[in-house]
Structure 1
Amino acid sequence: MTKLLIIDDDLGICRTLQLHFESLSYEVQVAHCVEDGLALCSEFSANVIILDIRMEGTSGLDGIPLFKQLLPQARIIMITAFHDMDSTITAMQQGADEYIHKPIDIDELDSAVESAVEYSASTQEEAFLIPSSFGQSMVGSSHAMKEIYKTIGRIAATNASVMITGESGTGKEMVARAIHNSGKGKDAPFVAINCAALVETLLESEMFGHKKGAFTGAVQDQIGKFELANEGTLFLDEIGELSLVIQAKLLRVLQEKEFTPIGAKHSKKTNARIICASNIDFSEALKAKTFREDLYYRLQIVPIHLPPLRERREDIDALIPELLARANKELGSKITKVAVDAMEALRHHSWPGNVRELQNTLTKAVAICRGDILSLDLLEDIQMPEAVSLSALDLADLSTDQSLQEIAYQYAMRVLASVEGHKGKACDILKISRPRLQRLLERE
């Protein structure tokens, strides 16, 4: 039975809420100050704590970290008659999970308690553990990824040019870095250029460098990326966006292994390995003559295609811990688990933005998470997959001699059975609140 602890110095509110939640089959204990509430925690492990802010003695705000220390998994719902912004912000920073104003809207409080209970239920032993550290290696065990690993292993020791294709966000730069880190030039620089981010004149200078006075604004010599990447790797992202002029100059570098900085009289040698990436359809670009055919075949000595995440869903389970661990490090957070329903929703999302979208979604969730467990409500626009549709439940054999109450009870029981007893999913399908479901099951 779910345990609920109510702490408020208003005896009337305490008694009213106690009777209400006991009628919904919660086990309820009441205290009238923080100190008494803390004493109860030694023998009453509440799943949810409803805590008033302004009380004699220790305030509810000051009590939040104390309750979190004793019952770290408990969800805390603050209630107050004051509507000031500072108290709301402070409560959430201290670790409160919800903030409700008096006079209390019982439906709003019911909803907050239901959400807290759902969170507790979904973050029990089945939650997925997240490692405390992460590597920079590629992640995935799908057949497609295994084939890519094999290709990387075969070509890493060579200096062959590589063309990586795939939708935006699939991780093309990660593949490029894996090739570099596995090759003989791994101790030399890995230098990246986004070919779509610069206008033609700046891109040429960025790639090949320039001499002082070569053009307006060239106040000093600049070393180009080809020179910086010598003996290492030059990664040209969005290669399909290069102008035909730059394409011609790049082709010469590939053929002659040398380049000339803008304004220079003499050429320089380069032994940089070229790895390119693009999400364009090269067959269309070649047909339209927006990309040189001779350059294309020079660049794609070794072609690698990264499939979208929706085509390798089995990799999601491995990606989530890696990306969450990375977000923990970047944001200074300590997410250690992912709730079961959150994991299920992440597995079934379509991910049109691929791994980049997954990473952004998880990073946002980590940024706003107030505990150590990532729950479904933190995932923006990510929903649980439909477990069952109403039309899939057979109503034909429900007797017309039964009362409407009995029919509703039987129907609710079938929905519950279809979702293996998960009351939250059942409520979603029936479009009712948890208290309403409880009343249906009790045939009230």
Structure 2
Amino acid sequence: MESTIQAMQRGADDYIQKPIDLDELDTAAAKALRYARGDAQGVRVAATEYAGTNRGNMIGRSRIMKEVFKTIGLAAASSATVLITGESGTGKELVARAIHWAGPNPSGPFVPVNCAALVETLLESDMFGHVKGAFTGAVERHAGKFALASGGTIFLDEVSKLSHGIQAKLLRVLQEKEFVPLGAKQPQATDARVIAATNASLADCVADGSFREDLYYRLQIINIHLPPLRDRKDDIPDLVQALLARINREMRRHVWRVEPEVLRCFETYDWPGNVRELENVLMKAVALCPVDVITCDLLPAQMCAAPELLRQRPKSEADWRLSEVEKTHVLRVLEATGWHRGRACDILGVSRPRLRRLIRQYSLVVPASAAEDVDAKEGDAQES
């Protein structure tokens, strides 16, 4: 990504990611030719665009990700406040770091703050600092994150979790470029750029009264929405390749390939945990892989069961009952785990009593080898 950005900043009009797609090359060449001829329909890619395709886990050549990269470039070229939205695991902090890195002060500090990690009093001190004696236990002056982020960027993750009191102080920072540490009388100036992120809908938070409307509009001067992985599955092969390279380097392994069936499983799975979940799946697979290729038996059971269920769907959807889907899925998970009730519960996300009820409900035949499972010895007294 670094080399791509440098090329764009030196005047390149577009970029093509390896391996080169000839159709993509033709399109880029035609666009460059139109621009060179002064064609009014030609679109010049601004030198300020963040047109790279990866930094950390930021990988993608899909149309939707190219738009994200373009907006990142526009955001990096300004000092405006940015709001990054998207589901958990989509890479919001990576985008914030990319904006900082491609901005005017890349050598300045990048200071992340998890707004959901601390109670209000501790978070207020953590963000804005305090003077000696500001509260019980404040035995010395403490510089907050806004002071530490001077000359750089402060990243407020899970900003929707801020209390109304801290929201008011944040609004003052955005409006006046200053804040007052706890216990202080004089405001302190700050030039830190604010980038905020949330996996919630701030518009809904405004509607239900949990988030200030004026702060909402101050934060989303530039809004970057990160799509879930299920909406950009064309990027999965590139993501797998890039993640494997990093994971192998960190783990000192040499697992460089995945079976085609593994990619088919990946492309039919919904990825509720997004790129972070894909990374975790690959890390576990690399750690357990005895050879240099990842096979389906190294994947979570539910990941490989999904495409099989789809292939076996009855022709008449009226015959495909929810109970049949549940029965088939529970049975497959139990078989995949060797009828180990604990692992099956973890995969299915149910309690052990609930799993026992499902086994009885669907008259699943417990293999003799699993009949003496410790779970079977537990009394039904635990059921609720």
Q: When the two structures are superposed, what TM-score results if normalisation uses the length of structure 2?
A: 0.64
1:179 aligns with 2:99: yes
User: Is the contact made by 2:57 and 2:239 (CA closer than 8 Å) also made in structure 1?
Assistant: no
Out of 226, 229, 244, which is 2:146 matched to?
226
Counting aligned pairs with the same residue, the percent is 56
| 1:317–1:347 contact (8 Å) kept in structure 2 | no
Are the aligned partners of 1:208 and 1:223 in contact in 2 as well (CA < 8 Å)?
yes
Counterpart among 246, 249, 254 of residue 334 in structure 1:
254
Aligned structure 1 segments of 4 or more residues deviating by more than 6 angstroms: none
Paired position in structure 2 for 1:316: 236
Contact 1:227/1:270 (CA < 8 Å) preserved in 2?
A: yes
The separation in 1 between residues aligned to 2:276 and 2:290, in whole angstroms, is 24
Q: Which has the larger radius of gyration?
A: 1
Question: Following TM superposition, by how much is the alpha carbon of 1:340 offset from its aligned partner in structure 2, in angstroms?
Answer: 1.6
Higher helix residue share: 2
RMSD: 1.8
Q: Deviations over 1:191-234 (max 9, x none)?
A: 10110111001110110111222112222222111111112111
Partners of 1:238 and 1:279 within 8 A in 2: yes
Q: Distance in 2 between matches of 1:314 and 1:205?
A: 44
1:152 aligns with 2:72: yes
Residue correspondence of structure 1 range 308-387 to structure 2 within 5 A: 308-381=228-301, 382-383=303-304, 385-386=307-308
Aligned twin of 2:125? 205
Partner of 1:245: 165
The structure whose residues are more often strand, as a share, is 1
Matches within 5 A, 1:398-417: none
Counterparts in 2 of 1:237-276, with a 5 A limit?
237-276=157-196
Deviates more, 1:295-304 or 1:374-383: 374-383
Cα separation, 2, equivalents of 1:137 and 1:241: 25
Question: Retained in 2: the 8 A contact 1:195–1:236?
Answer: yes
Distance verdict in 2 for CA 1:168–1:350, change over 3 Å:
same
How much has 1:329 moved relative to structure 2?
A: 2.7
Hey, what's the Cα distance between the residues in 2 that align with 1:267 and 1:284? 32
Q: CA deviation at 1:390?
A: 8.3
Aligned residues: 259
The amino acid across from 1:378 in the alignment is L
Question: Any stretches of 5+ residues in structure 2 without a counterpart?
Answer: 1-53, 316-384
SS in structure 2 of the partner of residue 365 of structure 1: helix
* Superposition deviation, residue 388 in structure 1: 4.2
How far 1:155 moved relative to its partner? 2.1
How far residue 288 of structure 1 moved from its aligned partner, in angstroms, is 1.1
Query: Structure 1: which 5+ runs fail to align?
Result: 1-133, 393-444
Name whichever of 138-147 and 383-392 sits farther off: 383-392
Give the distance between the partners of 1:238 and 1:330, measured in 2 at CA.
29
Cross-structure match for 1:294: 214
| 2:245 counterpart letter in structure 1 | A
